[in-house]
Amino acid sequence: MAAASLFDLKDRAFIVTGAGRGIGAELAAGLAGAGASVAVAGRTAVDCETVAGDIAASGGRAIAVPFDARDEAQCAALIGRTNQAFGRLDGAVVNHGIGLHRDALETTRAEFAEMLDGNLTSYFVMCRELGRYWVTAGSPGSIVLMSSNASFLAYDELAAYGVSKAGVDQLCRQLAAEWAKHGIRVNAIGPGYMTASMKGIEGIYDAPEVKTKILPKIPAGRYGALRELLGATVYFLSDEAAYTTGQYLAIDGGYSLV
């Protein structure tokens, strides 16, 4: 196979959830730049429209679809609208989520439940609807779940968040094993400290006194750029990963090694 054809996403169509900002916005733009059509999905309509508009202005193809991933009907509607707009649906990056920086002793039951609902149950619902769509259509598909290295490392004040992401990792393995017979692949990416944080913990890791403590613990010596998550995402969604499923890839500058 010619090198130029590797990881080709031309004429493919994907959904990216949580795409109105941060990692999701970066990945949506990156997939569009790789030739794919993208449904920019998220809870804030104006943000999704801005990202989709920027993609279109750059020559790409995108639609904005406001939705709440916790709502099963809205997940199904997102899939239907994407297929209607692009005539196909080849994969999805399930990236939405919220953060909570709270000592376990101070975390309320409601806050813990909210973490599980927003970061795990909604992932299951979105994946289930994707799986139903592809099984019914008799076509293959690829899902990339956005996890975190907090799924297997213990961080201060991230008990609820870490548990929710540990669930994402197991969801990846479970769905990959169950759905391989349908040609559906499921893989996960676990970012470490990045240059942008998710909703709920924005700015915490940018404080100079915090960075002074964190940076020496990262072998690469820096936070990751959002763009550095794109290569793995493209790989998992492409045909080059046709025999890769149920895998977790840490992208954390070596943080989880030491």
Residues annotated as catalytic are: 161
Q: Which residues does residue 239 pair with via DSSP β-bridges, in sequence order?
A: none
Could you tell me the two tokens for 52?
């989709």
Chain Cα centroid distance, residue 230: 11
- Distance, in Å, from the CA atom of 161 to the CA atom of 51, rounded to the nearest integer, reads 27
**Is residue 230 within 8 Å of 170, Cβ to Cβ?**
no
Strands (DSSP E) contained in 117-235 are: 141-146, 184-191
Which residue carries 């019914």 as its tokens? 136
Identify the burial level of 128 via C-beta atoms within 10 angstroms of its C-beta, where 0-12 means exposed, 13-18 middle and 19 or more buried.
middle
Of 167, 157, 168, 165, the closest CA to residue 201 belongs to 157
Which residue carries 């376990």 as its tokens? 104
**Is residue 93 within 8 Å of 144, Cβ to Cβ?**
yes
